[in-house]
Structure formats: C-alpha cells, structure tokens
Structure 1
Amino acid sequence: MTQLPVPAYPDVTRHDTFPKLLALHAAEHGADIWLREKDLGIWNAYTWRQVEDRVRQMALGLLELGVGRGDVIGIIGDNRPEWLMGEIAAHAVGGMSLGIYRDALADEVAYLITYAGVRVIFAEDEEQVDKLLQLGDRIPTVQHIVYADPRGLRKYDDPRLIPLSDVKARGAERHAREPGCYAGLVAAGNGDDVAILCTTSGTTSHPKLAMLTGGAMLRHCAAYLAADPRTPEDEYVSVLQMPWIMEQIYAFGQALISRMKVNFVEESETTMADMREIGPTFVLFAPRVWEQIAADVRARIMDASFFKLAMFEFGMARGLKALDEGRRSRLADFVLFRALRDRLGFSRLVSAATGGAALGPDTFRFFLALGVPMRQLYGQTELLGAYTLHARDDVNFDTVGKPFAGVDIRIDDPDPNGLGEIITRHPNPFAGYYLNEEETAKSLEEGGWLRTGDAGYFDKRDHLVVIDRVRDLARTVQGDRFSPQYIENKLKFSPFVAEAVVLGDGRESLAAIICIRFPIVSKWAEKNRIAFTTYTDLSSRPEVTELLRSEVEKVNATLAEKQRLSRFLLLYKELDADDGELTRTRKVRRGVINERYGEIIDAMYRGDRKIDVDTTIAFQDGTKQRIRTVLNVVPLDPQAPDGAGKRRAA
C-alpha cells in the first residue's frame, strides 16, 4: 500500500484542545493565512493571529454574558469563518458547542435547544434570528441571541438580541482589564472535557446528541491524517453543513492540526465557480452532491452541439474502458477529461472523498474515469466520523476501504455469505449521548464495541463492504434478499432521477417511488417542446413517464433477475427533509415514507394502474397548496434480460 510521507504535526496529547492548537499556530505561524471567505466577489483572508484575536474577543465576550464551564452554546447559519471562531470560543470558556443545521425547521430547532439547554446561540443573519424569535417561550433557556450580520435587524427590539460586534467589544474591554484572562482559560482546558455535542442522523426519530471530547477528536484527526496527509499548502473548500461530523473533522479538526487553508464560498449557488477560483486540493462531498455534479454535467451535454455530444460520449467510453482495465486513457484525457476537470474546479485535486451514505458505483466510476482521485470513507458520528478509507492505490468503488490503525471491526452473526452487522471498536469513541444514559448503554457493548446498525462483510482483499442498514435489508415473500439502497443508488445515477425509494419487503415483487430531478427534466421538456406548469404537472406528463421508463429499464438490465423492479411511479412532489421524509444529510426515512404514502404503495401492489391523489402540502414559509392529480403506475417486465422486454398492456 503506497502512502505519502506524513508531515510533522503538533503533539495532540500536549495540545489537546482546539484553543490550545489555535494558540500554538498563532504564536508560531501568526502571519500565515488559515481561512478565506468570499464576500461581494472578493476573497477576504484571515491569518492565524487574526483568528485568535477574534476568538479571544468572542470568548471573553461570552464570559461577560455569564457563560461558563459546562454551558451549551448553539450555532446556526451558513458555513462562515465566524462559525469556526464561535466554536473555538465556546470551547475556550469550557462550554460545549452545538451545531444546528441552517435549514432546520422551527420544531427541530426548538427540540435541540430545549433538550440541550442552550444558553447563548450564535445566529448568522436575519433569517436565522427570525426562526429563533418565532419560537417565543418554546426556548426558555436561551438568554442571548448573538447575530453576525446586522442587515434587517435594526427594527428588532427583543432584549435577547445582541450583535456580535458588541460581544467582541466587551471581550476586548475584558482583555484590556485582564490581559492574562484568555491565556488562563486556554491553559485550563482539558482534552477530556466534552467540547462538541454532535447530532446523529436521526433516521428513525429525533437525533441524539453525541458527546465528543476535544482530545478524542484531535487524536482521531491525527490518525486520519496519517492515512490521508495534508499540509499548510493544501486548500479545502467547506461546502457540507458544519453540524455534520465529517465537516467538523475536515474543516475544523484536521485543519487545526495540519494548517491546511479552509475556504468558504459566497453562496451555495456560486459553489462551483468559487471552487474553480480556489482550485482545492482536497474536497469532501456527500453522495447527493457528487450525484448532482454528475447530473449537471449530463444536463449541460444535453444542450451541447452534436460534435460536443459525440466527443463526450467518445471520451467517456474510452475512459471507462481504460478504468476497467486498470489504467488511464490519455486520449480521453486530452479530448474530454482535462477540460472537464478544469471546468469543475478539480484540476488540482489530490484526494476527493465521499461519505455519510453509499455512493452508487456508476457515479463512482464516472468520477474515477474523469481523473478525480475518489475514495470512499465510512463511519458514524459516535465514532467521530470516518474510520475506514481507501488507500490511494487501492480504490474499489464497491467497498469503503480498510480501517485506520487501532480500529477493530468484526462482523456479527454473519450469514453463509459472510454478511452480518458491522461492530466496531474505536480508540477514540464518543463519551456517550448527552443526558441519555439508557441509549448510551444500548449502543456500547462490553469491551467498547459499538453496534453500527449497518450490514456488511469483508471481501477477499480485506476491504469492508457496506450493504445497507440492517433494518433496511429486505426480503420478498419468496425469501429473496435485496438491498433497497443499492438499487436506489443505481437509479439516482440517471440525471433525471433526484430520489428513489425501492419497495418490496414482504411483497411478491419490487417496486419504486421515484422523484424526478426537476431542473434537468424541465430543461429536457423545454428542449422537446413539452408544455408544463409545476413539478406535479411535469411529473405526470406521459413523455416524462416514458423517459423515466427508459432509465429504469437500463437499471433493471444491470440487476439480478430477483432484484429487478416490476413497476414504478413518479411522485407528485420531491422528498423533503422539511417534511421529515429525509434526514438533514439526505438519508431516506423509510418508516415515514411507508406511513405517509402507505395508501399509494398498497394501490401499486393491488395492481392499480392509476391512483387518484387529493392532498395538501405545506411549504417552509407556512403557505399550503392543494394537489389533485393522478399517479400512473408504470409496469415493467423484470424478467427481460435487456430491461426492454415485453410490456404489460397499459
């Protein structure tokens, strides 16, 4: 296994908290750039010394607000330098930081704040402040709401509101009175103190809060860097939401150890353009982001000239053929891939990772052929994110690689094929669930083993293969086993499919509920002069149904006969985390789907060809819309080896 030389990193057993590492780098590399943020088209840089100055002001300002050891400080908003600074400041005063997803609904925010007993919350702007103020007395523990962006907030008179600039000013005054106060706080910090309350995925219920100590997280990040090194010359673009454990690992923990530069894009809509300007050397995207990028590439090709389309198909064919033969195609790189990597901002990449959920093998192969050094990782929030990863010269899109040094993995209750539940023992695990000893006891077994709830096995090369959640592995009434997630990922490789839910557990055959990828399908419809008004209207068009039939039949042709879909329908709306149908990391909540769309599912399996729908959907702004439509169940022939065999009469 080839590994790059590991740089000399700080001793994290000595500098065992985030504020201590920041102080070390500010003293030794104070003039070096750590963070960049794009604002109004201009990249603004922050050196290590500037970051520490702001963190000191924020930390001492929190002291002036009465925040102390053991208090919980919430943070909600977009990925910004102030997020990282606020998090380190919270740890400096001995507090625990709780990141809340920026698009979390009011009920989710209220639950997390009241459960954790948040005293002070950093809110980015007016949007987040409005969300908090609308909760009223539902968040009685909150004493101060600190906002970073004052635009639109001058008209507010809630006594809890205070601008971040005032907090910093109070901290500066405290520093002038007590010059050694902040250094004393940092020195008093201990690596065994709980620093972060990190929300779990919550696929079945409210998320739990995993308690992560600063020392455990830094030791784990050091182990990660031994497997995948970074240096101060590396550039990282922070895209995934900061509350997610892997963004905490990359943009926060690893950056504080390796001093790699962390960049923040201006808006989510400008991400790809901003990435092209930075030319990152490392990226971490969730599978849905990689799927979206691949779909966007195919969508742009739809609008290209005949010559460009032919060159794309030629380059992809040569590239995929070379990939299957274990090599790279220079010709494909010349005619297609080099320009495409530059267009996507991937020209300087030395490592690209995906995690949080399974990435479909077709999407993985697409990026490997493109020349993106893709690697898949695997882990859980409770075990501080990833603890398996592909080596640079040992990538297999069907696996998640091998575990880091010191990590033990076993397969519990394996079947004859070796498939069972993945059980892991980690040298730096979480400290338990916050205020939930019962769930902590359930998750940890004797000897420190944690039940992941995932089904997997080891292949012949000792790579870990993750199939699906144990509870989501399904069987038909005939006893044939299948993984819904595996089939869903193959469906989502199509640029026209945004989400898919595969059904069939306890049924006689497999079926799917599919959500179209509206921006791309609408572009396709316009190009083909198909009139439509809304998402619901477009998804019901017969031409769109035939388009998706073709895509599903292509997937069926790649599946074993017992795993092929017998029918599908196009849902009248997108699956949405705001409706509880997906987690904030875009994992399907199957229980919610089965309950909410139970009548539709039953009608599909009754053999109904048309299903009348009369329902109301609610939007995030509180408005509602009545939807009346007819869903067409599309029959397929799962026995057809080419996916295009004899169709049942419509």
Structure 2
Amino acid sequence: MENKNVHLSHLVFTQAKKYGDRPAMYFRDDNTKTWLPITWNESARQVRLIGKALISIDVKEGDRVGIFSQNMYEVIIADFANFAAKAASVPLYATSTAPQIEYIVNDAEIEYLFVGEQYQYDVAMEVQKTSKFIKKLIVIDPKVDLKGNKNAIRYSDLLLVGEKANNDAEIDRRLAKTSEDDLMNIIYTSGTTGTPKGVMLHQSNFTEAIRIHEERLAITTDNDTSMASLPLTHVFERTWDYFCLGHGVRVYINRSPAEIQTTILEVRPTLMCAVPRYWEKVYAAINAKIESTPKLMQLFFKWAISIGRKRNLNYKRFGKRTPPDLGTRYKFFAKPLFKMVHKAAGLENCKYFPCAGARLSDEINEFMHAIGINVCYGYGLTESTATVSCFFPENRDYVIGSIGRIMPNLQVKISEEGEILLKGKTITAGYYKRPDANKEAFTSDGWFKTGDAGYIDMDNNLYITDRIKDLFKTAGGKYIAPQLLEGIICDDKFVEQAAAIGNERKYVTMLIVPAFDILEPYAKEKGIKYESRADLIQNPEIVALYEDVIKNRTKELAKYEQIKKFTLLVKPFTMEQGHLTNTLKLKRKVINELFSKEIAAMYTED
C-alpha cells in the first residue's frame, strides 16, 4: 500500500494531505443524472466534524455506532468518523426488518444509529420506541420525514454540531491513541442457520488484509476508478473500498443495487467487485443479444468466442506466445466484436473485476475470459476479513474450476473431514459476546472452521465442493451438494432461482423460479397463450421445456444426483419473505417449511 500501515482512523486525513482537492468519491444526483465529486479535503473535513459531533453527544471510546443505510457517500464518512472517535462501526443491511435491527441493536448495545432513507428511518424509529439502548437516530437523506421525533438529528445538523464543538483536543487525543488492537467493525453474519453472530474485525485484521491485497493486486493505481456496487455492509465491498481509498482510487457510490445496469454505463469503471449473480445477468444478456441476431451473425459470434477461448485460455493465461494465425484472427475479427460487447455493457475500461460471495459457474467464468473480461474470481468470509483466495489480476495462471490462489501468508489446510480451515492475521478474534460460538468455530489449536468443504491442488489453488451444513444425504445414503446442483440449473437462461430438495428422501427434487423475462417472450414466439404466470408454468409445453433444461444440464451427473421431479414457482425467493439472507443465500430450513406442500407433492408415489 502507498501509505503502509496507515490506521483506518487516519486514512482519510493522510490521503487529504497527499491529494488535496482531488476527488475521493462520487455520488449520483438522480435529478440531473450526473456524478458529483467529494474531494479528499472535503471528506477529511466532514470526517473530523462528524467525529467531533459524536464525541460531543457522548459517544465514548469503544462504543458501537450503527450504520443502517443503502450506499451513500455519507456512510463512508460516518464509518471513518466513528474510527476517529475511537468507536466501532456496526453496519446493518438496508433491507433489514425491525426484528433484525432490534436484535443487533440489543446485542451490540447501539446507542447512536445512522440511517439512510425513509424505509431505514421508519424501521429504526419503530425499534427506538421500545429500545433501552438507542438514544439518537442520525438521518442522512434530507428528504426523510422525521415525524416529530425529538430523538433524531439530521446529518447536516450533526455537521453543525461538530463545527460548534470545542473538543479538538479530545478528538486529537483519541486519534493519537489508535493501535492495532482497536475494534473497528462488528459485522453480523447473515444467519442461514440460527441467529446472526457479530464478527469482530480489529485494525490488525485490516492492516494485514490491505497488505496482502497490495501484494496480490499490485497493478491497482490511483488512476483507477471503482464502482461500489455491493452493499457497503458486506465485508467484500467494505474491505475492497478501504483498499481502494488507501490507494487513491476514485470510488463511485452506486446507491441502489437495482440501478447498477444503468450507472455502470455512466461510470464505465476500471474496477468493480461484484457477486456471481451480476455476471450471470451479463452472460444471459449477451447470449440473448446474440440469439436475437440473424443465423449468420450468430455463427460469427460463436466463431469469435471460440477464437477468444483458444487465445485467452490456452495461451495468454499461461504466458505463452499466441500462434501468428490465431493472433491475426483474434486481432482483426474477435477483438473488435468483443469491444462492442464490452462497450454495450459498460465494461470497456475493465482492468480486473473481483468476484466472490457465491459460486460462479465454470461456464460463465470461462466465457467472460474468452471474450476478454478479466473476472478476478475468489473466495472469502466475513471472518477472514474478506479474501482467502483469488485469481491473479494480471489475468494469468488462473484455473477454471478453482476459486483462485491462496492469499500470501494465509495458512489454509483441509481437515480429515474435508473442511477448509484457516489461520492467520486476517482471521477474526471471534464473535462479539459469544464464547459458545467461538468454541464451536475454532479448533482446539486455533484453526477457524469455514464450514466449506474443499481441497487444495499442487499449485496452492483452492477449490470448494459445497457448504458442509448444506450437504444432505438421500434415503439411499448418498451425499448431495445442493449448491452445485442449483448452480448447474441456474446457469440456464430460463432459470432465475432454484432450490434443491432431498434430505432423507428417496431422490432429489427441485423448486425452480423461471426467468420470466426470458420465458414470456419465448412463450409469445411459440404461440403459447396464457392468462397469468401461474397459468403459463402449468402449460405442458413449458413443463416440457424445463424437463429438457434439467435433462441436458444434469446428464453428466451421477444417477443419484439426477433431479427426478421439479416444481415451477410463480414468485421468486426474497429476503422480505424470509427465503433469503441479506447476502442472498437460501435459507433452506425456511424454504422447506414454507413450501412443504409443494415438496410433499413431489414425493407422492406415482
């Protein structure tokens, strides 16, 4: 890192001295659809003022201050202001419900809570009414209706409190006391099983995380631009943005995940971390576009992709010289076509795009590299301060099927049971106030148990087979990896979501949510008439379509892994209905309970 071992409490101030009035971040004015800059000097000014204000309203050293908001530049300011006041930030997902917020507020004993828009304010206000902890809500969006709440203050007014506060000596004293032992974040896991646990991340974790990313991602410079597309609550985006800001990368704050397809066309960043779902949508969109062209053009696209696959995967990634005839075909035929595709998706400036958070199919991973999009695929956890392994950003030596090379100085081993175990300076000290969970999460000799099954190859590349807790056993005694099955089926353009069923059952079945944006035009083209989506998914031709999808997608699997029956669903799995965690992982127990009738019908004897 350019500013080696800079404590997060000092990062903004250090960068302001270096970059001054150069933009640090950009936010979008939705009225004018323009991106407005926040300079390093202005960022440092606001961090100091908010830090002073927090101290003046009685935030003490070691307090936990919550941030419940969608992505906004003020969220990053609040985060660093908490650090300046020597408090820990507790980020909460913007989509959280009142019971979820109440649990975290009580567990972390949060007295001061930053909130973003009206939804977050209304939820927080509901919790505040009965909370013995919340003293003040700090409201970021100026359009929020405070509804006469005397225990709420606007962000703009908090800046004024900081301006008037006569406590410069106190904030300077706190800044001077920073150490590697400071608790910086408590990030609550999404809780696919049981209640959420607060992962404690100290400065020492971030110091090491930034150091090893500096080594692995050495091609990153202050000429780069990054789009913050994932929630800042997510450890992936959070750690990535700390890394970017520490390198002077200009960070564009994407406020709503639903807007990313629009905003990426406006920003066209060189860097952006994303979850596999983003690339699944890009893949589907590109293929839909190809299929909409005349047959001759489709053949030309496929030819170009085959050239790109040979050149990029067989030669470039291994540093081999490309044969002259292949190089010519790539330069004059494939590359110009790929550039058009990149530009249409806002990806023409792509340097490397980190991707993690779930399984990215080999098919999509290989396709993106074939057309020249450098997806830097990896794996990590909240408990490991994000990255455990990832591809090299130089687009070399990656192995399709793996989740990348293990990060420098991180110890990884596989237990006798096949579980991935971790040890190193990026690994959490444990869960907040949960000695019981700590005892369960760590081995007796200090290795953190990831809960993921996998293996390591001779070149130190890591592979995951599945979540150990997600593995289920059929009545025949065969173990099934549901995420693998779901990934295979979800790779198809006609499938939006899927949930594999089969624990202690005779055979495997699946709940499938169709990709209606693809299915409905298909039905129209085929002359299939229907009155509603419920009517559409019962149509024999549509059922036959999905039978073919499953048959073709699973033909290489073992017989006991084959999906014998399936049910198409009208409505998607959502966080609001409790089907998904905040990081969009399936809550399998909930799904089995809520869809018990549909599941039972698939196991009725013929």
**TM-score scaled by length of structure 1:** 0.85
Q: Quote the residue 2:359 is aligned against.
A: 358
Q: Quote the residue 2:590 is aligned against.
A: 592
Q: Quote the residue 1:137 is aligned against.
A: 129
What amino acid maps onto 2:264 in structure 1?
A: M
Q: How does 1:173-212 map to 2 (within 5 A)?
A: 173-174=164-165, 177-212=166-201
User: In the alignment, which of 428, 432, 454 is matched to residue 434 of structure 1?
Assistant: 432
Q: Quote the residue 1:275 is aligned against.
A: 264
Question: Are 1:444 and 2:442 counterparts?
Answer: yes
Per the TM alignment, residue 453 of structure 1 is displaced from its structure 2 partner at its CA by 0.9
Q: Quote the residue 2:101 is aligned against.
A: 109
- Change in Cα spacing, 1:475 to 1:525, as seen in structure 2 (3 Å) is same
Question: Are 1:69 and 2:61 counterparts?
Answer: yes
- Change in Cα spacing, 1:403 to 1:137, as seen in structure 2 (3 Å) is same
CA contact (8 A) 1:514 1:570 kept: yes
- Change in Cα spacing, 1:159 to 1:526, as seen in structure 2 (3 Å) is farther
Q: Quote the residue 2:233 is aligned against.
A: 243
User: In the alignment, which of 248, 251, 275 is matched to residue 286 of structure 1?
Assistant: 275
CA contact (8 A) 1:443 1:450 kept: yes
C-alpha offsets along residues 581-625 of structure 1, whole Å, 9 cap, x if unaligned?
2211111122222232233223212235xxxxxxxxxxxxxxxxx
User: In the alignment, which of 519, 522, 528 is matched to residue 521 of structure 1?
Assistant: 519
C-alpha offsets along residues 466-489 of structure 1, whole Å, 9 cap, x if unaligned?
010112223434444432211211
Which sits farther off after the overlay, 519-528 or 71-80?
A: 519-528
CA contact (8 A) 2:308 2:372 kept: no
What amino acid maps onto 2:222 in structure 1?
A: P
Question: Are 1:223 and 2:212 counterparts?
Answer: yes
Q: Quote the residue 1:397 is aligned against.
A: 400
- Change in Cα spacing, 1:326 to 1:592, as seen in structure 2 (3 Å) is farther
Q: Distance in 2 between matches of 1:576 and 1:494?
A: 20
Per the TM alignment, residue 127 of structure 1 is displaced from its structure 2 partner at its CA by 2.1
CA contact (8 A) 2:25 2:38 kept: yes
Q: Quote the residue 2:3 is aligned against.
A: 10
Q: Distance in 2 between matches of 1:535 and 1:241?
A: 31
Q: Distance in 2 between matches of 1:150 and 1:65?
A: 21
SS of the equivalent of 2:142 reads: coil
Q: Distance in 2 between matches of 1:255 and 1:101?
A: 22
Q: Distance in 2 between matches of 1:269 and 1:300?
A: 21
C-alpha offsets along residues 507-564 of structure 1, whole Å, 9 cap, x if unaligned?
3332211111233323433444544455434433333323322222220234344422
Per the TM alignment, residue 83 of structure 1 is displaced from its structure 2 partner at its CA by 0.7
- Change in Cα spacing, 1:96 to 1:324, as seen in structure 2 (3 Å) is closer
What amino acid maps onto 2:341 in structure 1?
A: L
Q: Distance in 1 between matches of 2:294 and 2:233?
A: 42
User: In the alignment, which of 568, 571, 579 is matched to residue 570 of structure 1?
Assistant: 568
Q: Quote the residue 2:324 is aligned against.
A: none
Q: Distance in 1 between matches of 2:199 and 2:530?
A: 46
Q: Distance in 1 between matches of 2:602 and 2:349?
A: 49
C-alpha offsets along residues 204-255 of structure 1, whole Å, 9 cap, x if unaligned?
122111011123212212211211122111111001111111111111x202
Q: How does 1:143-154 map to 2 (within 5 A)?
A: 143-153=135-145
What amino acid maps onto 1:348 in structure 2?
A: N
CA contact (8 A) 1:499 1:514 kept: yes
Q: Distance in 2 between matches of 1:307 and 1:82?
A: 51
Q: Quote the residue 2:71 is aligned against.
A: 79
What amino acid maps onto 1:607 in structure 2?
A: E
Q: How does 1:331-370 map to 2 (within 5 A)?
A: 333-334=334-335, 336-370=337-371
CA contact (8 A) 1:358 1:489 kept: yes
What amino acid maps onto 2:371 in structure 1?
A: L
Per the TM alignment, residue 33 of structure 1 is displaced from its structure 2 partner at its CA by 1.7
Q: Distance in 2 between matches of 1:122 and 1:550?
A: 50
CA contact (8 A) 2:71 2:255 kept: no
Per the TM alignment, residue 309 of structure 1 is displaced from its structure 2 partner at its CA by 4.3
Q: Distance in 2 between matches of 1:274 and 1:439?
A: 40
Q: How does 1:153-168 map to 2 (within 5 A)?
A: 153=145, 156-168=147-159
What amino acid maps onto 1:468 in structure 2?
A: D
CA contact (8 A) 1:433 1:439 kept: yes
Per the TM alignment, residue 150 of structure 1 is displaced from its structure 2 partner at its CA by 2.1
Q: How many residues align?
A: 589
Q: Quote the residue 2:41 is aligned against.
A: 49
Q: Quote the residue 1:169 is aligned against.
A: 160
Q: How does 1:234-633 map to 2 (within 5 A)?
A: 234-251=224-241, 253-265=242-254, 267-301=256-290, 303-304=292-293, 308-320=297-309, 325-326=314-315, 329-330=330-331, 333-334=334-335, 336-391=337-392, 392-414=395-417, 420-532=418-530, 534-607=532-605
Q: Distance in 1 between matches of 2:280 and 2:176?
A: 45
What amino acid maps onto 2:64 in structure 1?
A: V
What amino acid maps onto 2:103 in structure 1?
A: Y
Q: Distance in 2 between matches of 1:75 and 1:122?
A: 5
- Change in Cα spacing, 1:294 to 1:596, as seen in structure 2 (3 Å) is same
Q: Quote the residue 1:34 is aligned against.
A: 24
What amino acid maps onto 1:42 in structure 2?
A: T
Q: Quote the residue 1:611 is aligned against.
A: none
| Unpaired segments ≥5 residues, structure 2 | 317-326
Question: Are 1:100 and 2:92 counterparts?
Answer: yes
- Change in Cα spacing, 1:476 to 1:360, as seen in structure 2 (3 Å) is same
How many percent of aligned residue pairs carry the same amino acid? 24
**TM-score scaled by length of structure 2:** 0.91
Q: Quote the residue 1:637 is aligned against.
A: none
Q: Quote the residue 2:321 is aligned against.
A: none
What amino acid maps onto 1:589 in structure 2?
A: K
CA contact (8 A) 2:305 2:334 kept: no
Q: Distance in 2 between matches of 1:564 and 1:322?
A: 35
- Change in Cα spacing, 1:305 to 1:474, as seen in structure 2 (3 Å) is same
Q: Distance in 2 between matches of 1:110 and 1:194?
A: 22
Q: Quote the residue 1:612 is aligned against.
A: none
Per the TM alignment, residue 301 of structure 1 is displaced from its structure 2 partner at its CA by 4.3
Q: Distance in 2 between matches of 1:179 and 1:266?
A: 33
Per the TM alignment, residue 320 of structure 1 is displaced from its structure 2 partner at its CA by 4.3
Per the TM alignment, residue 413 of structure 1 is displaced from its structure 2 partner at its CA by 1.1
What amino acid maps onto 1:89 in structure 2?
A: A
Q: Distance in 1 between matches of 2:337 and 2:577?
A: 40
Which sits farther off after the overlay, 362-371 or 134-143?
A: 134-143
Q: Distance in 2 between matches of 1:443 and 1:140?
A: 31
What amino acid maps onto 1:96 in structure 2?
A: A
User: In the alignment, which of 181, 188, 202 is matched to residue 213 of structure 1?
Assistant: 202
CA contact (8 A) 2:24 2:245 kept: no
Which sits farther off after the overlay, 225-234 or 183-192?
A: 183-192
Q: Distance in 1 between matches of 2:203 and 2:602?
A: 51
Q: Distance in 1 between matches of 2:254 and 2:221?
A: 21
Which sits farther off after the overlay, 322-331 or 338-347?
A: 322-331
- Change in Cα spacing, 1:409 to 1:130, as seen in structure 2 (3 Å) is same
Which sits farther off after the overlay, 560-569 or 313-322?
A: 313-322
What amino acid maps onto 2:423 in structure 1?
A: R
C-alpha offsets along residues 434-461 of structure 1, whole Å, 9 cap, x if unaligned?
1112111221223321011110112343
- Change in Cα spacing, 1:188 to 1:461, as seen in structure 2 (3 Å) is closer
CA contact (8 A) 1:249 1:385 kept: yes
